[in-house]
Structure 1
Amino acid sequence: MSNTNQTQQSQQAELQKRLWKIANDLRGNMDANEFRNYILSLIFYRFLSDKIEDYVNNNLLEAESVNFIEAYELEDYREGIKEEALNDLGFFIEPKYLFSTLVKEINQGNFDIEDLQNAVIAVENSTIGQRSEDDFRGLFEDLDLSSSRLGSTPAERSKMIAAVILNLHDLEIKHDEIEIDILGDAYEYLIGQFAANAGKKAGEFYTPQQVSKILAKAVTLGRETLKSVYDPTMGSGSLLLRVGDEAKVYNYFGQELNGTTYNLGRMNLLMHGVNYTNFNVQQGDTLENDHFGDQKFSAVVANPPYSANWNPDGKLDDERFRAYGKTAPKSKADFAFVEHMLYHLAEDGTMAVVLPHGVLFRGAGEGTIRRYMIENMNFLDAVIGLPANLFYGTSIPTTVLVFKKNRSTKDIFFIDASNDFDKGKNQNTLTDAHVDKIIETYAKRENVDKYAHVATFDEIVENDFNLNIPRYVDTFKEEEPIDLAQVEAELKAVDIEIAKAQAEFDAMVAELVETKND
């Protein structure tokens, strides 16, 4: 490992440590999930503030004798600076609202929480009428600066927020291309830490990093670039970004139901250097209100809510669900999400989705859908069984289904990785070695004893289209043969020891003298 990489990793680790300490030290009476919105929003605001300062000073005023703050005071510069920034960055922050300006106000004893409120409102207002308006609308709506949880009076709330701002200001964060990624990764680390403390709610916004890697590597296998990637239940956007780690992605698309999580996802994309012109994410119920019409995407990935309720009424009139003849049950929307994703997958695309094991073998309408997908569509390429207790909020084992629309064979590749994990106190985890083993096995697509099997179409038919992994991958381990002669000898030796002990005990009893009362 080069010294540069070591320095970057050290910098990132220190940044993560500091951020989590700030979060724990300053959240007061709030639980971690509540304080999440404050610290992540303020980290994001600092990011935007530093971004605008660096952009103006290093791109627009590089050859000038003035800096951003000085130039903005001059009428000849002001409008040009704002216009260029809005066009390239999609937002604008006046010098009086910069993060560094807020820090000065705090140090001079002049800060009021209303100053921050005006600042975040001004950022959003700067995008009105611009191409970026939809991407920035409502980004800070979860930053409730009037909440009594911050303090019972404006002065107490100002003091709390000022403490967070000063702590974040002390972090050494620079914004060249590499270090933006470091900051973005630290930001996502915080999302993961908050998820670990959020119990069952965590699954709504965060997919464990190693599981994201499996899906991302599966859809990018053999592909260096992707025109587009789509996640219909995008959460915090971590899965979309993971795909971007594995291949060059030109455009990101996503939809998210929860408003807070939708904001978090947009922030996360921007924090990772994805320009507002290169993503289109929407808020809403994916199954009820599909924002992407008949658009097709090069890769589709998702970790949808498991066995969620949905409304199947009238869905067979919907192009996404019509072909299957049956709808997913009202209490189990798993296949509805799969159908939606397949509808949006390009003809040369790959899709990966993580779901509960029940989708592999449940009958009724789900059985009909599963059979149609295999027999008539021939898109299902692989079934990968994962260990139990990997996800926040649930201990159930899960499976990754990989689909391709350009398949030339009708076999299905099964991998049973359910026994490969590191056991943790609260959750099991996958290591990079576990992930690499899964992906390398999938790439080779060869039988591996006790681990992987290429199932022919005839095998699938023989099993009545039941995809339960143990039907195809035999992980049973025979016990070591028992040496009966050795066992007999050991039992005889034990009998001898027992007889010897009994004789000694009887001798001791015989020596006892009975004591009678006088």
Structure 2
Amino acid sequence: MVQKIGAALLANAETIWKTADTLRGAGIKEGDFPSYMMPFFALMLLESRLRRFKAEKLVEFQLATGVDFDDGNQDHQDWLEAAAKAANKGYHPELLLLDKGLKETCAVPGGNFRNRLISHLNLYDPDTKRLLGLGYAEGTPKYLDIQGKASDLFSRPNSPLYAFAARWAAIDLTPFTNSEVTTIEEHIKRKWGDISAETAGEQYTPSDVIELSNDLVVEMWKRDSHPRDGIAKIYDMTCGGGNFLFASEDAMRDAFPQLSVRTYGQELNDTLFALSAIEARFRHDARIEHDNTLTNDLFLSEKFDIIVANPPYGGDWKDHKSVIEADASGRFAKHRMPPVSDGQLLFLQHAAYHLAERGIATVVHNGSTLFSGGAGGGESETRRWLIQELDLVEAIIQLPRGEFFNTDISTYVWVLNKAKPENRKGKVILINAEGAFTKLKRNLNKKNCEIDAGNRARIVGAFLDYADGPISRVMTVDQLLHNKVEILVRRLDEKGRSISEVAPVPFDEFELLIDAHEVRVRNGRIENHSDIASSVESACALVNVWIKTAARIDVRALDSEDGYIADTESGHVVRIMSGRAKELGLGRISIKAKATSTKKGKFATISVSTTPLLEKDFESTQFSSDPVENEELIGAFLSEWVPEPCSRVASKVGCDVNFNRVFPKPPRVMSSVDLSRKIGEFSAEMIRLQAAFEEPRKGTR
């Protein structure tokens, strides 16, 4: 990470980080540092860009007029002011015309510094003040809230506001380009991520993951003959502070200098939106919007050539369920709705909707997008839609564990391509880059590794080769799908016997013994229902209750010993004929009691029959896009793997991506030395536990 930032940039990044010393001395918790540092970082970013803008305009003025710019000439001042307002990058009259910024505001200590600082900041144009967080009304977003943080610091013991602001005022970002400032910002955000799991999860995608994404996008752009001198529109649907989005812009500009790159982003978090919106002002054709991407898509009519994103993992969308399900844009479909506990797959649907005719995307997700949910469910249907129906997924890459700052779970990059090369259609390459990393010398929160340049090249090389290799497998779409077949299985006993069909018990007059309960039946009617209950309805209800809990049911003809005995727990049924018992195999004795009415009155009637022991089961089989072959695959699987008689009820097509199945891990072989050591440790622990158990007993003797 550090090696990727030059000495001058690193020096400034470290100077920026040292401003936190003031916060530490003021008793502010380390996890809260980012909320105080972000507004001042944004302020210095803004100042540096405006100073650079002025320098560029003065050169432009000299070239256009042939005279040097004169600060004291009102006409010259008017020209510069008009140019600044027209550029819409932010406007501050004293900074623009008199070079008075935070450094000059801090030049004289003492007095009410908070008021002087706020007065200086209030000279900015309205939109800049809104983003910095000045003069907000009750109930409106505070964005960076520089006003609130300044007031908090000013009111603390020894009023550390001046010391904190003075440290920031000494930082000069003017020498650095937009790309270099983004690098510094990323370095600082990494540190923020290191101290705060919350901010890491909200705002930071590690630079090595961004660089992998950028390398993939650049190579795809070259390979697929995209224009080198046209327009490329890049979009990040959850852009956070803008690192992923703007780094992708820089990578495309570096790779294709003649390309006109435009960036678009949307972010829900107030603070992060303000950070990225301020930086966007100093980018060519950048637009950042503020709102929930899923419920209020502010780019609904736009299509993008490149999409990059690292959406929230496991984000609950229950509060937005009705809005999303009612969305009429075509982004989502009712049958593709994931559970409300995790909206990641909604972002993939959103990305698919926004891809241009030849658009490409790299979207980072956790593992739930690959395998959660069963066939026919919203998650499986989303995968099937992307992989089979749209044929949009070109690759899925498993990243090393420990890549991110606030989680050590497995993460994956989905590579989407709206115009896959002909030889890649109907296929997806899975790349197992779990081991493609170098260890960090010091963990950064939960991040313990990074994808170095060599491993990055290895991953990109596997993607470009698109062949089976040490870390790659090319899968057909059919191999990523499966049939989930619902069947009814007729269970057999250990000798292969069962009741094969429903058959009424052949007695007109019989006695039922349901455990300890006796029921006599003549011609289908319960004869002794008054002994069972006071009414026909309650008699039938009691019989039905007894049946549900019965462990054994006997059916005996009243005029003979013939009958049936059923063990309801095991499912074994025995028939008694002429005093001899014959095992029928597995089955049920089905009893139904109900009240019926005729002209002669109400009767409690009952029907008894022997039925097969049927159990619902589900089997997963291989899939083929050829319907005839698919039926053959299902039939062959059931014939081979379901030995008992069964009938098919229904089948659904499911889709999941199981890296463990495609890249099975070899079993761990323990050496004899390690095994002996483990046995010794276990034996010692057992002796210790036995001694601990015996000790209290000795004291009671």
Which category of TM-score, normalised to the shorter sequence, fits these structures? 0.7 to 0.9
Amino acid at match of 1:190: I
SS at match of 2:415: strand
Gaps of at least 5 residues in structure 1 are 1-5, 129-136, 492-518
Matches within 5 A, 1:144-163: 144-145=147-148, 149-152=152-155, 156-157=158-159, 160-163=160-163
Distance 1:318 1:388, change over 3 A: farther
Tell me the equivalent position of 1:325: 335
Normalised to the residue count of structure 1, the TM-score between the two structures is 0.79
Report the number of matched residues: 456
Tell me the equivalent position of 1:229: 234
The answer on 1:168 being equivalent to 2:147 is no
Larger deviation: 381-390 or 318-327?
A: 318-327
Distance 1:31 1:467, change over 3 A: same
1:179 to partner: Cα distance: 4.2
Distance 1:139 1:100, change over 3 A: farther
Gaps of at least 5 residues in structure 2 are 130-139, 223-227, 254-259, 482-621, 624-653, 677-701
SS at match of 2:211: helix
CA contact (8 A) 2:234 2:262 kept: yes
- The Cα offsets for residues 460-495 of structure 1, whole Å up to 9 and x where unpaired, read as 233753211123234537869x9xxxx9xxx9xxxx
CA contact (8 A) 2:42 2:278 kept: yes
Matches within 5 A, 1:59-98: 59-60=57-58, 62=62, 64=67, 70-71=71-72, 74-88=73-87, 90-95=89-94
**Does 1 or 2 have the higher relative contact order (CA < 8 Å, sep 6+)?**
1
Tell me the equivalent position of 1:502: none
Distance 1:139 1:80, change over 3 A: farther
Larger radius of gyration: 2
- The Cα offsets for residues 215-248 of structure 1, whole Å up to 9 and x where unpaired, read as 2322332426552111111111111012113212
1:395 to partner: Cα distance: 1.8
Larger deviation: 231-240 or 359-368?
A: 359-368
Distance 1:308 1:94, change over 3 A: same
Tell me the equivalent position of 2:473: 453
Q: Over aligned residue pairs, what C-alpha RMSD do you find?
A: 3.2
Distance 1:396 1:140, change over 3 A: closer
Tell me the equivalent position of 1:503: none
1:165 to partner: Cα distance: 3.5
CA distance in structure 2 between the aligned counterparts of 1:56 and 1:138, rounded to whole angstroms: 31
CA distance in structure 2 between the aligned counterparts of 1:8 and 1:146, rounded to whole angstroms: 30
CA contact (8 A) 1:39 1:164 kept: no
Identity of aligned residues (%): 22
- The Cα offsets for residues 333-359 of structure 1, whole Å up to 9 and x where unpaired, read as 111110011101111010111111122
The answer on 1:345 being equivalent to 2:355 is yes
1:384 to partner: Cα distance: 0.7
1:78 to partner: Cα distance: 2.9
Structure with greater helix percent: 1
1:332 to partner: Cα distance: 1.6
CA distance in structure 2 between the aligned counterparts of 1:321 and 1:472, rounded to whole angstroms: 31
1:124 to partner: Cα distance: 2.9
CA contact (8 A) 1:117 1:145 kept: no
CA contact (8 A) 2:44 2:171 kept: no
- The Cα offsets for residues 409-460 of structure 1, whole Å up to 9 and x where unpaired, read as 10110001112233453422222222222122112212113x1011123322
Amino acid at match of 1:456: T
SS at match of 1:301: strand
Tell me the equivalent position of 1:287: 294
1:56 to partner: Cα distance: 3.2
CA contact (8 A) 2:268 2:293 kept: yes
The answer on 1:443 being equivalent to 2:453 is no
CA distance in structure 2 between the aligned counterparts of 1:243 and 1:180, rounded to whole angstroms: 13
Tell me the equivalent position of 1:382: 395
The answer on 1:43 being equivalent to 2:41 is yes
Amino acid at match of 1:22: T
CA contact (8 A) 1:361 1:367 kept: yes
Tell me the equivalent position of 2:431: 415
SS at match of 1:280: strand
SS at match of 1:228: strand
Tell me the equivalent position of 1:266: 277
Q: 2:145 aligns with which of 142, 145, 148?
A: 142
The answer on 1:220 being equivalent to 2:218 is yes
Amino acid at match of 2:299: F
Amino acid at match of 1:470: N
CA distance in structure 2 between the aligned counterparts of 1:148 and 1:56, rounded to whole angstroms: 31
SS at match of 2:364: strand
1:22 to partner: Cα distance: 2.3
Normalised to the residue count of structure 2, the TM-score between the two structures is 0.59
CA distance in structure 2 between the aligned counterparts of 1:90 and 1:269, rounded to whole angstroms: 9
Distance 1:284 1:29, change over 3 A: same
Larger deviation: 118-127 or 410-419?
A: 118-127
